[in-house]
Structure 1
C-alpha cells in the first residue's frame, strides 16, 4: 500500500493586493479518487482519498477564487504515469477558455499520442531530470521536431547547480520553448552567483528559456524570504520569460511543509513590486506561451 498525499489548505489566504484580470496559475496538478483514473505502478504515493474528481475540481476553483486567478495550467502528475486521462479531463472540465495542460509521454511516444495531447488542449510535455520518470532528455530531444510541428514545448525539472552545465547547449539548440520548473531547483545557500544558476540567467536573458517562479516551499521555509534574491535575479534577467505557479495540491512533499498558496503568491508580490511586471508575469507571459 502506498502512503497518501496530504490534503492542501482548504482555502488559501487572500494575497496582499489584488491580481490583474487574467492572472494565471501556471503550475498545478489534478488528482482524483482511487479508481477514477489509472495510477502508475511506479508512483511513490497515492492522492489524498478525501475527494473524487469533481471534488478536487471544486476545491481548486475555491483556490482560484481566493487568490484572484482566472487561468490555470495543469501539469500532469507522475502519480498517473504516461496516462494523461486525468489531466485531459481537468482541462475539458475547467474549459479551454481558462485551462491548458502539460502532458507526460515516454521516449517512444507516437505521433498519435502527441496529436492527442494537442487536440486535448495540452501545450507541452514534461520530463524530470532530478528523479527520473518515463521521459528522458535524450528522448525529448529526439522528438523535438515532432513537438514543434504540433505547437508543443518542453517543460522540465532539474537542479541548476547539478545539471545546467550539461543541459545548456542542448537547450540553446532546442527548436521548441524550454520551461524550467521551480526556479531551477537551485542550491539556495549558494545564491544567485552559483555558476549553474548563472547559466539559467543567461538563457533567460537571451530568450532561450522560460522559468516558473514556483515551488519555493520545496526550497525554503515560509514566508520564503531565503529565495527572494534568486527570484529577483530571474525577473531582472528577463521578466518576459517568467511565470508563476502555486504547485497545488503540493504532492510528494518529502521534507517540505504543506504551504498556503496565498503565502507563496505574496512571496512573488514581495519581490516584484511594480504593477506592469506583475501583469507581465501573471497575465501576458502565460497568455503568450499557452495561447490563452
Structure 2
C-alpha cells in the first residue's frame, strides 16, 4: 500500500528516476529533435529510427543509439504505428525500430518537458528597457519597464514604487521572424501583461497555473513577506501550491479581478479589466483604495470609484466577498 502512495510521473516512474533518464546527451538530443520536428502546429510527426538517429546522433552507432532511445520509450517517447498517431491511444513497443510504417514521437509528458525548456530559452542575454505609457498613481512620474534575467519589472523611477515584478518567459519579446530587437515595445508589453494576467488570475481563482492543483491561501502583512514592494501595501494574499511548490503574492484588488460584479461595474464605466494591464488598474496595482478593517479575523475592503459612482467589496478570511455595495 505504501508503494502505491509514492509519487509517480505520468510514465509511472518515481520523479527521481524520470529525471535521471535525462542525464545523457544522446537522450537529450532525441527529445529536442522530436520537438523540433513538430514545429509550431499540427499533430506530432512520426520519425523513423533512421531519421531520428540522423538528426539526433549521426556519429553514434545504431546499437548504442537504440539503447538510449529505448530508455526514453514509455516516459517521454512512444513508438507507434503510423495509422495510430494522433488518434487512438498508442502504446510503447519495446525493441529496435526498422519498420517504415512505425516511428517515434513525444508523449504528453515529453512534450511538456521540452516545451518548458523551449519556453525559457533565448538566443543570448536579454536586457531591454521598454516604453510604457502610464504614470505613477502616487507621484505622477512616468513608469518604466525593464526585462532582464527573465524578469519583467514595472516601476516608478520617482518614488520607486514597484508595480509589477514577474517571472516572464523570453517569448514575449520574440517576433515571428525578426528576433528580439525589432519587436515593438507595445506588442511586448501587451503579451507580457496577458501572460502574467493569466498566471495571476489562475492563482486568484484558487488553481495553480503550472500543475492545476488547488492552492492554499492566507492573508499576510506585507512587511512579513520579504517581497520588495511591501512599503505601501495594506495587505497581501499568499497563494501556495503544495504539489509543485509554486507560490505567489496577490493584492486584494488582483484577487477581485475574478469578481463578476467588479468586472461589470468597471466595464459600465469604460474600464475593461479583462484587457487592461494590471499595472494600469489602480485598485489592483496599488492599495490606495484598500482598507484593512480587521486582522483577527481578516476583513479587507476595496473601493472602486468612477466620479460619483463607487463599488465597495469586502473580502473575509476565506477570501469570499461578504459585502458588496454601491
What TM-score results when the alignment is normalised by the length of structure 2?
A: 0.21
When you count helix as a share of all residues, which structure comes out higher? Answer: 1
What TM-score results when the alignment is normalised by the length of structure 1?
A: 0.22
